[in-house]
Amino acid sequence: MKFFLGNVFSLFNAPLGRRGFVGARAASLGLLPTLMTLAIFPPQVRADDLPALWAERVKSVVAVEYYVETEIERRPSVAYGTVIDDKGTIILPSVAVNPRATPAQLKDFKVYRPGNPVSVAGEYLGQDALTGWHFVRAAESIRSELVPITKFAAKTPVEPALAEEIWGIGLRNKDEDFLPYLLSSRIALKQRLPQQMAIAQQEVAGPGLPAFNRAGEFIGLAASSFGQNYLQFSRDDRGGAPVILVNVEESGALLVADEVLPYLGRIPQNIFGRPLAWLGAYGLEPVDPDVAKFLKLDGQSAVVVSEVLEGSPAEAGGLKDRDILLAIDGKPLPRFRPDRAVVEYVGREIQKRRPGDAITFAVLRGEARVNAKITLGDQPKLLNEAERKYFDRIGFTAREFVYDDAVARRAKTGDAAGVIAHFVKPNSPAATAGLRIDDWIKEIDGSEVKTFAAAATQLATIDSDRARSETVLLVSRGAETAVLRVKL
């Protein structure tokens, strides 16, 4: 039994119009006719051509090493990437970077060619909201040795057929100089989630690395890997205990080439991936076929909007809580299996647009059918754009309160004052006093926090005043508040 973990299913929870962290994101490919696929089925290639194909294609993959520098530690991380142009641009899958890390915390990018211990510097360009890809650019010195994946794209789009044999590239770890190795398998299943995915019987490539058909044509990019269920038998547990093993180095799930190639131009204009289109409808939930039938929406896919956020374009455009979305710009929402994929489909429709673009939803509201025409806005400041400052003696990082904080805490955005405890250093005075990550600090020493700048100044004064023996914070957590006495 195989099933997806992480970046295929969990993404569908990403609230609409807000930034999701996405590995596999799809365009609506439409139903590519099978006959057509067969018509352009590659001519048989002799098996002994594979070494030659391999030698060329291995130049389009790299390993990328970088450090995440937090308040108290510096941790190396490695991801695999695929070269997309002759400027040394590399895409990494969304899971390559922990979403809690901010761009400013990502340091010292290095690019390694397979089997080569010598690295060159890389520059982090940011993340694209639609594809979820992180973009990195390798230093000029090795660009001539890299071959973009586009060079291996078929002239007309190819999609692997069920049972077709495919192969791809895996990379060993850093201590083995990221030596490349061959993986191969056959396509077992094709599914729209909502992007077209081709799922192989076994792992065919490292996550973020390409796979090819026997003709050497690029057929897809490996998404993050499967979790596989096993029963683990032991002397103590003869019945077997279920375990899930995730192969983080290889994957058998491919985002097909047509879900990759059209999007390679989405190189972020800035490190935060702006401009970002914003709708402001929160908590989209799919409508299952039984409910659709009950609501007389036979054969129709639909999505419930749980909340329309205060001050959002959705609110301005007249969308209401509990509206059921039926179509976008006249095009009915397609049906997916599982139903959940439709939520991601709607999210992608937003991210394909730009702030200022219009989008019209056909909506079921109670018994009535109405249209809501909405002009998409610009995303309010995101969590990872928020200002932050670490106070080492008190032992926590204060972060600016942004729109998403108000949403998460059900606060009116107008009352949004205070700062958030973004990080609390273990065993620090703040931690000992009971401060926790994500606590909302509303008062410092009895005076109300109005702006981040004022709080930062006040905290810096306290932090550096060796004569101070305590500071008192009023924090809000969930529905309650607490007075915390921080003994310095």
Partner 1 sequence: MSRGFNKLLDAVVRIDVREFEFEAGARHFASSIGSGVILSDDGLVLTNAHVASPRAVEISVTLASLERVRATLVGWDHWTDLALLRLDLADIQRRGLKFTHAEFGDSAKLSVGETVFAVGTPYGLTRTATRGIISNNDRYFEDARGVNGYETGTFNTWLQTDAAINPGNSGGPLVTEDGRVVGINARAYAGADNLGFAIPANIAKRVVDSLVRNGTLVRSYIGLVPRELQDLESFYALSLNTGLLINNVDRDSPAARAGIRAGDVLLAINGVKVDGRFPEQLPPIQNLIASQPVGTVLKLTMKRGAETRDYTVVTEKLESRIGEEWEFEKWGLSVRKVSRTFARENQLPDSAGVLVIGVQPGFPAGVTGISNGDIISKVNQQPVESLDVIKRVYASYDAKPEPVLVEVLRNRQISLYVLKP
Scanning 166-174, 187-195, 379-387, 442-450 for contacts with partner 1 by CB under 8 A, the matching segment is 442-450
| Rounded Cα–Cα distance for residues 201 and 209 (Å) | 17
Scanning 48-56, 58-66, 243-251, 278-286 for contacts with partner 1 by CB under 8 A, the matching segment is 278-286
Q: Shortest distance, CB of residue 339 to partner 1, whole angstroms?
A: 11
Scanning 259-267, 302-310, 398-406, 419-427 for contacts with partner 1 by CB under 8 A, the matching segment is 302-310
Counting contacts by CB under 8 A, is residue 446 touching partner 1? yes
Pull the structure tokens for residue 276: 């970002």
**What secondary structure does DSSP assign to 177-202, as a single string?**
TT-EEEEEEEEEEEEESSSEEEEESS
Q: Shortest distance, CB of residue 467 to partner 1, whole angstroms?
A: 14
Size of the site for partner 1 (CB under 8 A): 31
Within residues 388-427, the interface with partner 1 by CB under 8 A covers: 410
Q: Shortest distance, CB of residue 349 to partner 1, whole angstroms?
A: 19
Contact code string over 341-370 relative to partner 1, x by CB under 8 A = -------------------------x----
Counting contacts by CB under 8 A, is residue 443 touching partner 1? yes
Residues 415-443 as b/e (b if ≥16 CB within 10 A, e otherwise) read eebbbbbbbbbeebbbbebbbeeebbbbb
Q: Which of 237, 179, 190, 221 is nearest to 24 (CA)?
A: 221
Within residues 308-337, the interface with partner 1 by CB under 8 A covers: 321-322
CB 439 within 8 A of CB 450: no
Q: Candidates 259, 307, 344, 404: give the one binding partner 1 (CB under 8 A).
A: 307
CB 219 within 8 A of CB 159: yes
In sequence order, the β-bridge partners of residue 211 are 168, 220
Q: Candidates 199, 211, 287, 382: give the one binding partner 1 (CB under 8 A).
A: 287
Q: Candidates 306, 413, 432, 458: give the one binding partner 1 (CB under 8 A).
A: 306
Q: Candidates 282, 345, 361, 423: give the one binding partner 1 (CB under 8 A).
A: 282
Q: Where do the H-state alpha helices sit in 262-378?
A: 289-294, 313-316, 341-351
Cα angle: 219, vertex 223, 227; to 5 degrees = 130
3: left (phi over 0), alpha (psi -120 to 50) or beta: beta
**What is the distance, to the nearest Å, from the Cα of residue 247 to the centroid of all Cα atoms in its chain?**
19
In the complex with partner 1, the residue whose CB is nearer, 31 or 479, is: 479
CB 16 within 8 A of CB 282: yes
Q: Candidates 49, 288, 387, 392: give the one binding partner 1 (CB under 8 A).
A: 288
Site residues (vs partner 1, CB under 8 A): 282-283, 285, 287-288, 290-291, 293-295, 304-307, 321-322, 366, 410, 443, 445-446, 470, 472, 474, 478-483, 485
